[in-house]
């Protein structure tokens, strides 16, 4: 496309859309910064405690925001409203007020399945909490032979605050997954008669490491005719295929695992390859956890 003389209306629209697309991706780190800020300030918790939608002035007072930053708080919430974390409504006196959505409710600190610890982990993670340096580090990572600093080995053992935050985030995620699965008739059918379960993690390891883990699993469980099977709760990229939000989560998680651990989120063919190399005969994918699935894997 020539940049000197763009007279075609459709061409102009495509160019302007492309500019916005590139800009949105370039500053998308502001989405996570805004969300982390909202959790740290306690915006959602304040609205819940108030019992009604809150005006900007009420939030400024309740959250001890500096008086000079009131308008800045409005700009922050405006972005979060656009991202469907809050809604706005006009009160009878004409003032604008903010209320919770289901997206902000699951970030309440007292929610039984609160995802707030996962958001807090973003701020403490030294490999991903500085957007500009993170971009540079990722480019350097691609040009280096080694896999870079592994979060488990090189950072967490020396950072007690990060270690605690990581454990809280993982516990929060486990509670959420466990609650959803225990309410699923499909999953309850899968574990009927199962006498023991061991928690294994795969997406943060390389293919070679995963094959080693899977082989050990195969050695530890009975044969299929005696009820032996492996249940994996993880992402299968492309499953489900009809939800844009779930797909986005999968591709972002894939980059996260790659950079932090040298791991990856796998599609069905990649999972199948691991199972075959580890000596399993067949599998079944149940897409019952949003962006994640439950995979039944059977030994020969």
Active site residues: 203
Asked whether 283 and 272 are in contact (CB, 8 A), the reply is yes
Contact partners, residue 89, CB within 8 Å, separation at least 6 = 53, 96, 97, 99
Q: What are phi and psi of 35, to 5 degrees?
A: -65, -45
DSSP symbol at 148: -
Kind and range of the H or E run holding 90 = strand 86-90
Asked whether 242 and 258 are in contact (CB, 8 A), the reply is no
**Cβ burial, residue 235 (10 Å; 0-12/13-18/19+):** buried
CB neighbour burial string for 117-143, b if at least 16 within 10 angstroms, e if fewer = bbbbbbbbbebbbeeeebeeeeeebee
**CA 86, CA 107: separation in Å to the nearest integer?**
12
Contact partners, residue 118, CB within 8 Å, separation at least 6 = 169, 172, 173
> Per 3-state DSSP, what percentage of the chain is helix, strand, and coil (rounded to 5)?
55, 15, 30
Structure tokens at 207: 């293919």
Pick from 142, 131, 48: nearest CA to 86: 48
Structure tokens at 118: 């996962």
**CA 82, CA 101: separation in Å to the nearest integer?**
12
Q: How many residues does the chain have?
A: 300
Structure tokens at 199: 């928690």
């Amino acid at each position: 496309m020539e940049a000197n003389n763009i007279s075609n209306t459709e061409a102009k629209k495509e160019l302007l859309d492309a500019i916005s697309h590139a800009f949105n991706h370039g500053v998308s780190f502001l989405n996570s910064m805004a969300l982390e800020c909202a959790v740290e300030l306690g915006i959602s918790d304040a609205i819940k405690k108030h019992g009604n939608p809150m005006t900007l002035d009420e939030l400024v007072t309740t959250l001890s925001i500096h008086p000079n930053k009131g308008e800045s708080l409005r700009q922050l919430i405006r972005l979060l409203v656009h991202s469907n974390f809050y809604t706005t409504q006009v009160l009878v006196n004409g003032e604008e007020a903010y209320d919770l959505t289901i997206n902000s409710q699951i970030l309440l600190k007292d929610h039984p399945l609160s995802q707030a610890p996962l958001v807090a982990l973003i701020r403490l993670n030294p490999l991903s909490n500085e957007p500009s340096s993170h971009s540079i580090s990722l480019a350097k990572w691609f040009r280096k032979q080694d896999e870079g600093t592994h979060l488990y080995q090189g950072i967490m053992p020396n950072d007690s605050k990060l270690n605690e935050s990581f454990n809280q985030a993982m516990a929060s995620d486990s509670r959420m997954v466990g609650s959803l699965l225990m309410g699923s008739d499909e999953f309850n059918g899968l574990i009927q008669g199962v006498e023991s379960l061991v928690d294994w993690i795969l997406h943060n390891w390389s293919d070679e490491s995963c094959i080693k883990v899977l082989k050990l699993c195969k050695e530890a469980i009975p044969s299929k005719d005696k009820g032996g099977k492996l249940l994996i709760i993880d992402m299968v990229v492309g499953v489900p295929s009809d939800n844009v939000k779930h797909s986005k989560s999968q591709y972002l998680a894939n980059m996260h695992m790659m950079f932090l651990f040298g791991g990856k989120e796998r599609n069905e063919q990649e999972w199948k390859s691991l199972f075959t190399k580890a000596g399993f005969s067949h599998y079944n994918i149940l897409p019952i956890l949003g962006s994640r699935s439950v995979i039944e894997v059977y030994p020969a």
